[in-house]
Structure 1
Amino acid sequence: MNLVDCKTALKTLNSGLPIIFPTDTLPAIGCLPKFSNIIYEFKKRDRNKPLILMGSELKQLIDYVHESAKEDCENIASKYWPGALTMVIPASEKQTAILTSNDLTLGLRIPNSLIAQSLIRETGPLLTSSANISGFTGSITVEGITLDFPSLNILGPIPWEKISGKASTIIVWKKSGDWRIIREGEVLVRELY
């Protein structure tokens, strides 16, 4: 098990490798946006499936949001973040270089995890996915994740704070005031406004 602290995790990320870290829902594999291809390689993930950009607070993510969706994004964020809600929004024209989607959208989330937030506060936003090999159910324990990703660094300390084991809810922005739920998950979104 390659357990590391935040300082070593930052060095790993800057070298182009991903790290594993806890979130409030499922453990994540994350990398700096310029190295997004590495997650697809480690997870054996279909490159047509986008990644989620995680931040530690809204001000880290808001510049990635297209002007047309900013007000709605801020409104939903104020109610559900930090938490297990992922918003899929149109990306800012200035930020398209980091996109992993084919439709100029970006999934954004701020996890309700002190460890994840502390890491991302230091690194800046990270492109992420759940820490599992694509097509297989992943483990929520450090020991289980080590079996899937024996060469990757895992952010400590352990034991990690509580992980629900349930995926985040995903909503997609269609137009001003119009959101759609595309995956029911940890957060029950009864009303979007």
Structure 2
Amino acid sequence: MLYDCRSPADRDRGIAAAIEAVRNGELVVLPTDTVYGIGADAFTPYAVKALLDAKGGRAAPPPVLIGSRHTLDGLVFTLPRSARDLVEAFWPGALTIIVEHSPSLRWDLGDTNGTVAVRMPLHPVALEVLRETGPMAVASANKVGQAAAVTAEEARDQLAYSVRAYLEAGPAADPVPSTIVDLTGEVPQLLRPGAIPIEKLRDVVPDIVDARAA
């Protein structure tokens, strides 16, 4: 079902429906500050598998979205100083960081070699859902090989009945994907350029390198 979160009453119903769906291991589509995402409870393996199946093709392990910076401390064993500095500067926002997750976590996001790509999005609807559900595995709300959805309605055209609740908040304000930085090595590496340019990242972590130029 699609809920128009631009209407206060529909927004409340939609957010409640999305929270219930995630807790039941079902899929939801929600707005972020980049493109729309399809999400599932990160700690429910069958829900994560359903997410990957819904996207079809060879979908990559999904990133994890969180609703609070403090949640990050519960997901990682140790957080590099560079990661803390970047989070302080750019979260919530369009920065995805790759860090080593705690080995005690009981989740299965795919072949990630003990790492997780994590982000705190700058969108009130997404944050409201995430603060109730906890960490969610979230990928772009489209079939593999098709254009990323910039509205929930576009996502529904591609994903149809595989998703329990669609939260519409209008066209994505800035559909540029998030910037991805790998912080698992000795030197921070830019893996994917995006909404935050490397020049701004270097203001915070001067030693970051562009992995594409290596």
TM (normalized to structure 1)?
A: 0.89
Aligned to 2:7: none
Pair 1:11-2:20 in alignment: yes
Deviation at 1:87, TM superposition (A): 0.2
Aligned to 2:40: 31
Deviation at 1:28, TM superposition (A): 0.4
1:154 to 150, 161, 166: 166
Aligned to 1:187: 196
Pair 1:42-2:42 in alignment: no
2: distance between equivalents of 1:8 and 1:82?
A: 24
Aligned residues: 188
State the one-letter code of the partner of 1:85: L
Q: Secondary structure at the match of 1:166?
A: coil
Give the gaps of 5 or more residues in structure 2. Answer: 4-12, 206-214
2: distance between equivalents of 1:188 and 1:171?
A: 11
Provide the aligned C-alpha RMSD in A.
1.8
1: distance between equivalents of 2:37 and 2:68?
A: 17
Aligned to 2:155: 145
Deviation at 1:82, TM superposition (A): 0.6
Which contiguous aligned blocks of 4+ residues in structure 1 show a shift greater than 6 angstroms? Answer: none
Deviation at 1:11, TM superposition (A): 1.4
Deviation at 1:97, TM superposition (A): 2.8
1: distance between equivalents of 2:85 and 2:176?
A: 24
2: distance between equivalents of 1:70 and 1:18?
A: 32
CA contact (8 A) 1:20 1:27 kept: yes
Q: Secondary structure at the match of 1:94?
A: coil
2: distance between equivalents of 1:165 and 1:74?
A: 26
* Paired residues for 1:41-60 under 5 Å: 41-46=53-58, 49-60=60-71
1:22 to 31, 34, 40: 31
Among all aligned residue pairs of Structure 1 and Structure 2, give the percentage whose two residues are the same amino acid.
22
Pair 1:123-2:133 in alignment: yes
Report which of the two structures shows the higher radius of gyration computed on alpha carbons.
2
Aligned to 2:180: 170
1: distance between equivalents of 2:188 and 2:106?
A: 22
Give the gaps of 5 or more residues in structure 1. Answer: none
Aligned to 2:88: 78
Aligned to 2:77: 66
